[in-house]
Structure 1
Amino acid sequence: MEALTAIVIGVLTAGSVYLMLARNFMRFLFGLILLSNAVNLTIFASGRMTKGAPALVPYGEDAPLGIVGNALPQALVLTAIVIGFGLLAFTLALAFEGYRRMNTVDTDEMRFAEPKEDVTK
């Protein structure tokens, strides 16, 4: 199972890098989403994929009994999902406003908003 997870993480990362190198801003955004999912899967896989029970402590005990799942990577992934959704919402708003003002999503054509280079120096 770990080998399959590693292959999926590699494919997601490779796909995200390919999309993020494109000049289209929307493709960059989709690559960013893929990279976020690859990182979430990496964090989740770091907690070992076992068929353990939930990390519940019975009443009167100091620790869970038996083999339990690691709750820390699960909590980190939930936090990363929320942060990734916030980043996605912000970049979608940025892309929409950029398209509304410049009528393009090509990053080379968006360069006119940058100041021109001073060639006299």
Structure 2
Amino acid sequence: MPLIPVRSVTVDIPDEAVAEQVRAMLEPELEMLAERIASDARNRAAFTDRTGKLRKSIKAQKSKFEGGGYIVVARAPHAHLVEFGHAMIDVNGRTVGHVAAFPFLRPARDRVMRAAIHEIQARLGGAYDERG
């Protein structure tokens, strides 16, 4: 019996084209998530923000980075000090204490993302398996 050469068939999937379509479909969802995170962060910052400047500076905006999407920023000059805490320095440059952190952005992101994952799981109606 003669050997028959086996030929393979290759199908290229245009990764970038598919990725672009998925990004376009997710764009409104990402914008909504960013707005929800910004709103939650504003609510979390409310009781530490006496002047309202921190809350007013928290915005969701379209990312300018290569991957696109949306980001949530707090542009108040003291936002990072509230989020991460800071040392108290006296006039001589010595550390005299520490101001505790009051995170508002990271917990807002975590809370909204957890809720979004649960919403997606509910939409899939049990088709989602956490084990992958």
Q: Which has the higher contact order (CA 8 A, sep 6+)?
A: 1
Structure having the larger proportion of residues in strand: 2
For Structure 1 versus Structure 2, the TM-score category normalised by the shorter chain is: 0.3 to 0.5
TM-score by length of 2: 0.33
